[in-house]
Structure 1
Amino acid sequence: MMAANLGRLLTQTARRLPDAPGLIWRDRVWAWAEVDTRVDRLTQVLRENGVTPGDRVLVHSRNSAAMFESLWACFKLGAIWVPTNFRLTPSEVAILATDSRPVAMIRDQGFAAHADAVPSARCILAVGDARAHERDYEAALAAVTPPPPDHEAPVSADTPCWFFFTSGTTGRPKAAVLTHGQMGFVVTNHLADLMPGLTEHGASLVIAPLSHGAGIHALANVARGAPSILLPGEALDVPIAWGLIAQHRVTNMFTVPTILMALCDGAPADADASSLRHVIYAGAPMYRADQDRARKLMGHAMTQYFGLGEVTGNITVLRPDQHDLAPGSCGMARTGMEIGILDATGARLPPETTGEICVRGPAVFAGYFENPEASQKAFTGGWFHTGDIGYLDARGFLFITGRASDMFISGGSNVYPREIEEAILLHPAIAECAVVGIPHPKWGEVGVACLVARAPVGEAEIRAHLQARLARYKHPQVFVFWDSLPKSGYGKVPKSLLKQRLAEEGVTPPPPA
């Protein structure tokens, strides 16, 4: 079935709002017509350098104009956008390049070694520091003859447009294949369920990497003509972010819990959140205690969703008015999507029964690129298996209790770290918490609580705090206090990094009594 090329979203907006601001970065404002012209020129540069529909273009860049433009150029060309996390090392990029085999690469300034790690790229466009065998990004755009109008490649609903790499926290990253048809549904669903009423009179602050969830969020803003505002630097500067929100009367932004809490905890005394209508947070669990803190400032706008890259964040939505209606829930099924809680045999479980969270519907990806074994496992029984554990209540609100891979077994009982983390975070002195299981000679595994305190507190006080909140077998046997928890480039706290640091520090459980 033929589908609309996603690049038409930009084309249509540029024709409707040619002089309205489309992209704002540092001291530059590009109108929609300018953005579209630059994207068309980049599309032609890639064409003239041998990139054809279906080819992969790897992009290693901080959030920037070039990063934003590269997405739309790949879509219009019918090529596949392969963005990476700019914090990856050259050796890590080499792994992604081996799996995706890109024929071209766009790199940001300072990433020459990363380009050297992508030998399959016959064409390399470099922003700012091009070497002899590379092409300068801006010079290439200026020199090319623009393509004719309506040059977007014809596509079908199943035509790949984006390789969305999984985080790789539990093994080698996999390329989830996103398609034009799937993403067309996702954009429509984001506008209906996450940001109803969005128009060109809104504005979006981009504070997370465009390579992942923020990139998907940007598609919906382009579709409605709302400008995207990029932070001036690669790191989150909370005062600058609040300044941009006030200056541009920002109405929406995509965040992850760590970013949202940084914006709330570091908000200046005169922080003005009145323009915000849709503060979307997702990407990692957000504990109730943190939600309550954030809602004091942004509660009128906070919208949560649950989703994985493979489902392009499109599983649940929890509107601002539903946070009290279903405390602890991550929301209800998104429009057009279905959630099933399945047991180990694939049978559907009734409400209030815990099992694996599975999903089906038009937002689900097409499978993992050249990885049929992983694809078959992910789609067992006609559902996409998320690997997360939880339950639905009688009304259809989803509650996540943990991740299957995070669960550990202590004394024969299943223990889910998230339940422990939720309980510990109710203590006012604890700012961050993550729990992992480590081997124990008697119990098999026991929990270790890794804590960041905001006020003086000791282990005995935390143990007392848990007495009435958790069964004894769920209590961590070890408590460690750190200045900060190790985080990935996306603001998550991978359990693998916790275990690595615990091992490096020689943390072990007490001997059996």
Structure 2
Amino acid sequence: MLGRSEGARTTMNQMTGLPVSRRVMNLAGFLAQTARRLPDHLAIAWGDRRWSWREFEGRCAALAASLTAHGIGKGDRILVHARNGNELLETMFAAFRLGAVWVPTNVRLVPEEVAFLAEASGARAFLCQSVFPGHAAAVAAVLPDLRLLASIGEAGFGQATHEGLIAAGQGRPSPVATVEYDEPCWFFFTSGTTGRPKAAVLTHGQMGFVITNHLADLLPGTTEADASLVVAPLSHGAGIHWLTQVARGAASILMPGERFDAAEAWRLVEAHRVSNMFTVPTILKMLVEHPAVDAHDHASLRHVIYAGAPMYREDQKHALRKLGRVLVQYFGLGEVTGNITVLPPALHEPDDGPHARSGTCGYARTGMEIEIQDEQGGALPPGAQGEICVSGPAVFAGYWNNPEANAKAFRNGWFRTGDLGHMDAEGFLTITGRASDMYISGGSNVYPREVEEVILQYPGIAEVAVVGVPDRHWGEIGIAVIVPRAGAAVDEAGLLAWLDGRVARYKLPRRVFVWEALPRSGYGKITKAMVRAEMEARGLLPPA
């Protein structure tokens, strides 16, 4: 797990006297089982290309064999920077097969941000899409001892290409590694309440539970007769969703273009009789407001899952009118792998009422426990607001090489989400705010401190505060308030132009305001609540 040796541990059950085994199925076993049971069934469709489960597993096994030949093995971290495509999914299962750790990035990150993830994870291999040569150069500069730098697509960098690795690995032995419950399989980067990203360690045992739980609570009845449309990044929540499709042999349909196209999405839903998809509220809103929703047959849809941010009630009602009762909401964090609550289709009421549950984020997922706690860790009664804390098999193993963050994140066996909320007497959870200053824009987490640290590098800025404010399209957007140094002049356009390329575009503030001073508390602290209140008093908040 976190720094544990790779040797197997042998403990004895004190009641039976028998050895206690922590061995679990390697996640690659899901693919192996499906390829054996449904070898010729469609696994992935992407544009005019098709792969059966046998073909897909064969490519993953060959890639794993080539990675082995380059010295990549169990426990090694494999960093991947690529857009959605079969290659990204192949790197995932090749890593699992080796017992290595898959480390996907957010494809919108700039080179310096990806280089930080490479260093923080201690990556031994980097597979980078050919259209991102700057990212490859940045990672190679900070990790000169990489065992393998390979391009996905033809490029002027790297020792090999993704396709070349698969071709070289054909016919070579590629056994599925034996793993234990708490051995890592995925580093899910998240910043939590601090500015710099941290690697949340997801393990084989934990993820086996999560896949089972997703199928039970979010996608009941899923079989190989189903099809899933991929409309969100597979490096994050959509990748978890993809694993459930693998486990049941359902086909996954990938969008053909780099940008989201609602008309094409509805065409694919009709053509492939799509029954489920994973979205964020921003994408769902674009889907149901596009004219194509009325031009294509979408009666095949049973589960349209949305997560990652709150959804405005009016937007929820519109989606229900267009699609019927197929919406599934869940609340979760990367550290709990999206596995805290569920609000199933039956509880998505199209009309408001005294007993409506649509304003909540649902009830606890199967096998998970939620408790609202006060600042000392004491349990609060129904209706009282406090921090949302959770325990259960879906909780991650901890942050990689970060004991300070682990100490803050866990208390008395509970994971502290940093979100505020309350539960009613029946166990339905309502989120009321965030203990951290993080906000969610278009389904992606934005951590103000990380952006603020970059802004402070701009000449002439003394202080800055970035706050998230409501936005009808993106859910939330960032607004920066800056205080120039004495005698300095800073203009909005110049700062935003300078920031472009230094932080990912989704993190860029949409507006910059220049003030003489930032409001402070009685203790001299700059609080985001006071900044937001001052913005409201000045009439600077955009209309929600």
Amino acid across the alignment from 1:188: T
The Cα RMSD (Å) is: 2.8
Residue aligning to 2:380: 349
Report if the CA contact (8 A) 1:378-1:384 is conserved.
yes
> Which whole-Å deviations, capped at 9, do the CAs of 1:160-199 have from their partners, x for residues lacking one?
0000011578511110000000000000000100000000
Q: CA deviation at 1:322?
A: 1.1
CA distance in 2, matches of 1:326, 1:164: 31
In the alignment, is residue 123 of structure 1 matched against residue 148 of structure 2? Answer: yes
- Aligned runs of 1:83-94 on 2, under 5 Å? 83-94=104-115
Amino acid across the alignment from 1:142: A
CA distance in 2, matches of 1:345, 1:132: 53
Residue aligning to 1:77: 98
Q: Give the alignment's TM-score, normalised by structure 1.
A: 0.81
> Which whole-Å deviations, capped at 9, do the CAs of 1:405-431 have from their partners, x for residues lacking one?
249xxxxxxxxx99xxxxxxxxxxxxx
State the identity %: 55
Report if the CA contact (8 A) 1:273-1:297 is conserved.
no
Residue aligning to 1:380: 411
Q: CA deviation at 1:284?
A: 1.0
In the alignment, is residue 189 of structure 1 matched against residue 210 of structure 2? Answer: no
CA distance in 1, matches of 2:505, 2:380: 30
Choose which of 280, 288, 291 in structure 1 pairs with 2:305: 280
Choose which of 88, 112, 127 in structure 1 pairs with 2:133: 112
Q: CA deviation at 1:297?
A: 1.5
Residue aligning to 1:14: 35
Amino acid across the alignment from 2:77: R
Residue aligning to 1:3: 24
Q: CA deviation at 1:382?
A: 1.5
Amino acid across the alignment from 1:370: N
CA distance in 2, matches of 1:388, 1:98: 29
Unpaired runs of 5+ in structure 2? Answer: 1-21, 350-355, 441-445, 449-464, 475-499, 517-533, 540-544
Cα gap change, 1:393/1:511 in structure 2, threshold over 3 Å: closer, same or farther? closer
CA distance in 2, matches of 1:191, 1:343: 33
Choose which of 166, 172, 178 in structure 1 pairs with 2:202: 178
CA distance in 1, matches of 2:197, 2:314: 32
In the alignment, is residue 266 of structure 1 matched against residue 266 of structure 2? Answer: no
Residue aligning to 2:341: 316
Amino acid across the alignment from 2:121: S
In the alignment, is residue 204 of structure 1 matched against residue 228 of structure 2? Answer: yes
Choose which of 244, 250, 261 in structure 1 pairs with 2:274: 250
Amino acid across the alignment from 2:226: G
- Aligned runs of 1:53-452 on 2, under 5 Å? 53-119=74-140, 120=143, 121-131=146-156, 133-148=158-173, 151-166=175-190, 171-268=195-292, 269-324=294-349, 325-406=356-437
Cα gap change, 1:142/1:173 in structure 2, threshold over 3 Å: closer, same or farther? same
Report if the CA contact (8 A) 2:133-2:157 is conserved.
no
Unpaired runs of 5+ in structure 1? Answer: 408-416, 419-433, 437-444, 455-487
In the alignment, is residue 501 of structure 1 matched against residue 522 of structure 2? Answer: no
Report if the CA contact (8 A) 1:355-1:389 is conserved.
yes
Q: CA deviation at 1:328?
A: 0.5
Q: Number of paired residues?
A: 439
CA distance in 1, matches of 2:192, 2:159: 30
Report if the CA contact (8 A) 1:40-1:146 is conserved.
no
Amino acid across the alignment from 2:166: L
Residue aligning to 1:48: 69
CA distance in 1, matches of 2:211, 2:515: 45
Report if the CA contact (8 A) 1:90-1:113 is conserved.
yes
Q: CA deviation at 1:86?
A: 0.8
Secondary structure at the aligned position of 1:305 is classed as strand
Amino acid across the alignment from 2:212: T
Q: CA deviation at 1:144?
A: 2.3
Cα gap change, 1:391/1:16 in structure 2, threshold over 3 Å: closer, same or farther? same
Amino acid across the alignment from 1:65: N
> Which whole-Å deviations, capped at 9, do the CAs of 1:88-141 have from their partners, x for residues lacking one?
110110111110011111111211211112233321221222336420211221
Report if the CA contact (8 A) 2:372-2:385 is conserved.
yes
Choose 133-142 or 347-356, whichever is displaced more.
133-142
Secondary structure at the aligned position of 1:40 is classed as helix
Report if the CA contact (8 A) 1:242-1:267 is conserved.
no
Secondary structure at the aligned position of 2:511 is classed as helix
Amino acid across the alignment from 2:379: R
Choose 294-303 or 251-260, whichever is displaced more.
294-303
Q: Give the alignment's TM-score, normalised by structure 2.
A: 0.76
Amino acid across the alignment from 2:154: D
> Which whole-Å deviations, capped at 9, do the CAs of 1:244-285 have from their partners, x for residues lacking one?
100000011100000000101114131322100111100111
Amino acid across the alignment from 2:96: F
Residue aligning to 1:483: none
Secondary structure at the aligned position of 1:374 is classed as helix
Q: CA deviation at 1:449?
A: 5.9
Residue aligning to 1:475: none
Deviating runs (4+, > 2 A) in structure 1?
119-122, 129-134, 143-149, 167-170, 447-454, 500-512
CA distance in 2, matches of 1:332, 1:251: 24
Report if the CA contact (8 A) 2:340-2:364 is conserved.
yes
Cα gap change, 1:185/1:452 in structure 2, threshold over 3 Å: closer, same or farther? closer
Report if the CA contact (8 A) 1:251-1:276 is conserved.
yes
Q: CA deviation at 1:404?
A: 1.3
Choose 317-326 or 64-73, whichever is displaced more.
317-326
